[in-house]
Structure 1
Amino acid sequence: MDSTHSTDLWDRVFATQPDPDLWLVVVTGVVALAAVVPRGVWLVTRNAITIAHEGGHGLTALLSGRRLDGIRLHSDTSGLTVSRGKPTGIGMILTAAAGYPAASLLGLAGAWLLAAGHITALLWGATALLAALLVMVRNAFGLLTVVVTGAAFVLVSWLTGPAVQALFAYGVVWFLLFGGVRPAFELQRRRRLGGAADSDADQLARLTHLPAVVWLGFFHLVSLCALTGGGRWLLGL
């Protein structure tokens, strides 16, 4: 690739795009909310949140010096990330704590990029993250899920105009912000009914000697703060 093409590609990815009309931002938020609230729809769309959840575990494991053996994504929207290293200590704590906040923090970062006008950069960045995740997925359903999700980002990035890219990007970020809130409430409900004894919150309780309810509160705090802050950025408040 010569320098001219490299410059063109750089300009295409990192150039700023004009802010979309407020109605588009509101409509994409409503659509994203409709993809999270109804249980029947959520049973399908939650797979995208699982990708972010397990990706959060995996990335944090690597950053904390652990060895990442692989990630599995299942059709029931559950997932599993396996890493090797010291079974206690800060690395294990950070890895266990990273799953539930991951979608919300990705949504917050996406909202910041959109508020700065970097719609194309967001789409390409998400594609790069999905490509990195794909290398670590170890089951067929997980591979299919990540490939389909990544293909959607690639097609929108390359084949559509600014209006469609904005529609897609705002919808994705709203979905991450809204979708990041619901799993912690689901976990809270399962624990109240006596299930999820080996959940992230319970693992963290064993690692830190803090009650699992404290970690549930942490998950709630991160997701709700991200939704509030990200929503304000998206709406231009």
Structure 2
Amino acid sequence: MDTGSVSSSFDRLLAPQPAPPWWLVLATAVLALVLVGYRPLWRLTRAAVTVAHEGGHALFALCTGRRLHAITLHTDTSGLTVSSGKPTGLGMIITAAAGYPAPALLGLGYAALLGSGRVTVMLWATLAMLAAVLIKVRNVYGVLTVLVLGAAVFGVSWFGDDLLQAGFAYLAAWFLLAASVRPVLEMQRGRRRQRGPGVSDADQLARLTHLPALLWVLFFAAACLSALVAGTALMLAPVAELHPLFQR
């Protein structure tokens, strides 16, 4: 393969794209809110949040020296990440705490890339992350879920024009930022209805740290809301620079 062509392709991958039209940024934000707020759609789209959630557990399990065994995604949009290592201590705490903030942090990372015009980088980085998750998925539904998501990202990145790629990328970022908050609220509602010892991440962290589970719920909510605010600022900044409508 020609070294020059590889270098040229790499340069095109990293090259920033122009800021998208202001209406596309706002339209994708509204659509993301619909996908999160409308229950029938949420039942379908929540699977993407579960992939990010379990991916967060898996990543930090590896980063803290634990051995990652499997990721399972269930049809009710729940999931499970299995790792082995010391059952207590900082590594286990970080691994357990990583799930709920993971979609928000991923959305924030997307927002940072989009704010600097790196739409193509964001799409191909998503493919790489999905491939990494797929390696550890151990059930049929989970494999199908990751493959469908990967096919959608690949199709847009390979066949879509600049406008479609930007729209898809902004929708993904808005969706992850907005959708990260709802599972935290759902978890807390489930905890309030549950009798006996809880099995949620917050309850697991309460047993590991001897801190109230509600404190961990608040931590998750604060992390997700902070990412939403920061991500919004990052994605609106390029649009505000180009369009007087958003300037004071």
Show the counterpart of 2:166: 166
Corresponding residue for 1:227?
228
Which ranges of structure 2 fall in alignment gaps of 5 or more residues?
241-248
Question: 1:1-237 alignment to 2 at 5 Å?
Answer: 1-194=1-194, 197-236=198-237
Q: Residue 5 of structure 1: CA displacement?
A: 2.2
Larger Rg: 2
Q: Compute the displacement of 1:2 (Å).
A: 2.4
Q: How far did 1:8 drift?
A: 2.2
Aligned-partner residue type, residue 161 of structure 1: D
Q: Distance in 1 between matches of 2:9 and 2:126?
A: 17
Q: What code does the residue aligned with 1:158 have?
A: W
Which residue in 1 is equivalent to 2:246?
A: none
**Offset of 1:232 from its aligned partner?**
1.3
1:235 Cα shift?
1.3
Distance in 1 between the 2:101 and 2:124 partners? 22
How many residue pairs are counted as aligned between the two chains? 237
Q: What runs of 5+ residues in structure 1 fail to find an aligned partner?
A: none
Identity %: 55
Deviation at 1:15, TM superposition (A): 0.7
Aligned residues: CA RMSD: 1.0
Q: Which AA in structure 1 matches 2:38? A: P
The aligned amino acid for 1:231 is T
Measure the CA separation in 2 of the matches of 1:200 and 1:6.
44
* Partner Cα separation in structure 2 for residue 143 and residue 97 of structure 1: 24
Look up the equivalent residue of 1:11 and give its one-letter code: D
Regions of 4+ moved over 6 Å = none
SS of the aligned residue for 2:36 comes to coil
Q: What one-letter code is carried by the residue in structure 2 that aligns with 1:148?
A: V
Q: Distance in 2 between matches of 1:190 and 1:137?
A: 26
Query: Could you tell me how far 1:193 is from its partner in structure 2?
Result: 1.3
Shift of 1:95: 0.4
Q: Give the superposition deviation at 1:160.
A: 1.3
Question: Normalising by structure 2, what TM-score?
Answer: 0.94
TM-score (norm 1): 0.98
